[in-house]
Amino acid sequence: MPTSILESATSPPAANGSAPLPEISLLHEQWLQFRKSKSALFGLLLIVIFFLLALFAPALAPDDPLRQHLPASLTGPLQGGYLLGSDDLGRDILSRILFGSRISLMVGAISVSISLVAGGVVGLVAGYFGGTLDLVVMRGIDVMMAFPSILLAIVICATLGPSLQNAMIAIGVIGIPSIARVIRASVLAEKELDYVTAERSLGASHLRLIFSAILPNCVAPIIVQGTLAYAGAIISAASLSFLGLGAQPPAPEWGAMVSSGKEYISTAWWVITFPGLAILFAVLGFNLLGDGLRDVLDPRMKE
């Protein structure tokens, strides 16, 4: 059976007969490999910062993100007590960005969870049983992937109604095909290995083979794909909110902030710039982390 991610790999004794080198777990080895990538560490740092900002937003925010102060509308950065300026209704942009990080990270987590659960089931079933079932399921996945993902999300939101909850459902649905294809490919490779054949010959049930033997050895590509899907979910949520189909005013969502500030791009650049930078760095962090994890967890990327 393939080595478990938590098993230890023992180094052989030294040639001069001295004591063997200390055992290094596979997890520790992967961490050492991960640390070699400065871009992946930078992505991890960005993600940690955003999660800390979201966690401590009430303590860090200088003002209520929903409080309006019309006399101070469109105040520039570092003026009138506004570190990043204010919007057209006099709301503090920094406070809204901090609380908006909560919304964006929550949308990403829930949407990716929906994609992983639904796509995981579809990929496992199609890859394991194969045959006609696999053919029918994958042609349905191909049809879903033929539509531009954002267009499909718009159709779903327009059908269910504009709201943050429906946006999360739509983003979760459009993420199902990519997750299903990745998991199916992993299952197809794993189910033909000797350890699966051995367990099948011992009378193991389908559920035991899928969840106890095959699925644990498909965790690596699932983690990588889930991390990259998180970045896509943040962009999709911002896009839907920008179009008025996601978070509704006065929610401090980054895409909605960009949408409300687009009219002032030539006169008050800060209204649209800082929420856009928040989206940029959040997505960049997850993409860099996903690339780093792929380099570590994919055996073909090993040095």
Residue type at 73 in one-letter notation: S
Average pLDDT, the chain: 87
Q: Cα-Cα-Cα-Cα dihedral of 31, 35, 40, 45, to 10°?
A: 90
Per mean pLDDT, which range of 118-122, 145-149, 285-289 is the poorest? 145-149
154 contacts: CB under 8 Å, gap ≥ 6: 170, 240, 243, 245
Q: What pLDDT score was predicted for residue 184?
A: 93
User: How does pLDDT run across 116-140, given as a tens digit for each residue?
Assistant: 999 999 999 999 998 899 999 999 9
Q: How confident is the model at residue 16 (pLDDT cuts 50, 70, 90)?
A: low
Q: Is 126 left (phi over 0), alpha (psi -120 to 50) or beta?
A: alpha
Sorting pLDDT into bands at 50, 70 and 90, what band is 50? very high
pLDDT in tens, 187-197: 998 888 888 88
- Considering only CA atoms, give the Rg of the chain: 24
Considering only CA atoms, which of 246, 239, 256, 242 is closest in space to residue 162?
246
pLDDT score, position 114: 96
Tokens of 294: 């792929």
pTM: 0.85
pLDDT value of position 7: 42
What domains are defined for the chain? 109-303 (1.10.3720.10)
pLDDT at 100 (0 to 100): 95
Q: Are 267 and 74 in contact (CB under 8 A)?
A: yes
* Of 108, 112, 110, 151, nearest in space to 253 by CA: 108
Residue 29 has pLDDT above 80, yes or no: no
Share of the chain above pLDDT 70, in %: 89
List C-alpha distances in Å: 124 to 28, 29, 129, 224. 29, 29, 8, 17
